[in-house]
Amino acid sequence: MVRTPLTPEERERGERLGRMLREARGGRSMTEVAAEAGISAETLRKIETGRAPTPAFFTVAALARALRLSMDELVERCALVPV
């Protein structure tokens, strides 16, 4: 299966998501947050660094829950076009 290349805007959205998650994690370790969200620390690392700019919805939802973030806030701050 060939994946369609991401647009620069989609890459930027992934980077914004990563920054937001990193900031919300604060002093908590990557391993602790990943375990609480039910994902690997490597997956969280890829999302936070923008190497995985389009994580699955349920991954984002699990991270939002673990970090006590609102999904509405994530959508607003990471949307391609302001909502």
pLDDT at 81: 59
Report domain extents, the chain: 8-78
Q: Answer positive or negative: Cα dihedral of 25, 31, 37, 41.
A: positive
pTM attached to this predicted model: 0.86
Question: Which CATH number fits the domain 8-78, given the four candidates 3.40.30.10, 1.10.287.130, 1.10.260.40, 3.40.50.10190?
Answer: 1.10.260.40
What does the pLDDT look like over 1-34, one tens digit per residue?
Answer: 787 888 888 899 899 999 999 999 999 999 999 9
pLDDT at 4: 85
